[in-house]
Structure 1
Amino acid sequence: MKQPSFGRSLLHAINGLAFTVRTQRNAKIHVVFGSLVLIMAVWLQLDLQQISILILTIGGVIAGETINTTVEAVVDLLSPEFHERAKIAKDVSAGAVLILSLAAILVGLLTMGPPLWERVSQFTRGG
Structure 2
Amino acid sequence: MFYVKKVFRSFRNAATGLREAYKRDLSFRMEIAAGFFFILIGITFWPLDNFELALFILSYVLVLMGELINTSIEEALEHLHPHGHERIGISKDIASAAVFIAVLFAVFSVVLVAYRHLV
User: Which residue matches 2:65?
Assistant: 63
In 1, the alpha carbon distance for the partners of 2:47 and 2:12 equals: 34
After TM superposition, list the pairs within 5 Å mapping 1:25-104 onto structure 2.
25-43=26-44, 44-104=46-106
Whether 1:110 aligns to 2:112 is yes
Q: Which has the larger radius of gyration?
A: 1
User: Which residue matches 1:12?
Assistant: 13
Query: Share of identical aligned residues, percent?
Result: 27
User: Which residue matches 1:124?
Assistant: none
Q: CA deviation at 1:39?
A: 0.8
- Tell me the C-alpha RMSD between the 2 structures: 1.6
Aligned residue for 2:82, secondary structure, equals: coil
Matched pairs, number: 116
Q: Give structure 1 stretches of 5+ with no counterpart.
A: 119-127
Q: Give structure 2 stretches of 5+ with no counterpart.
A: none
TM-score, length-scaled by structure 1:
0.83
> Counterpart of 2:22 in structure 1: which amino acid?
V
TM-score, length-scaled by structure 2:
0.89
Deviations 1:97-119 (A, max 9, x none): 1111112101111023332x26x
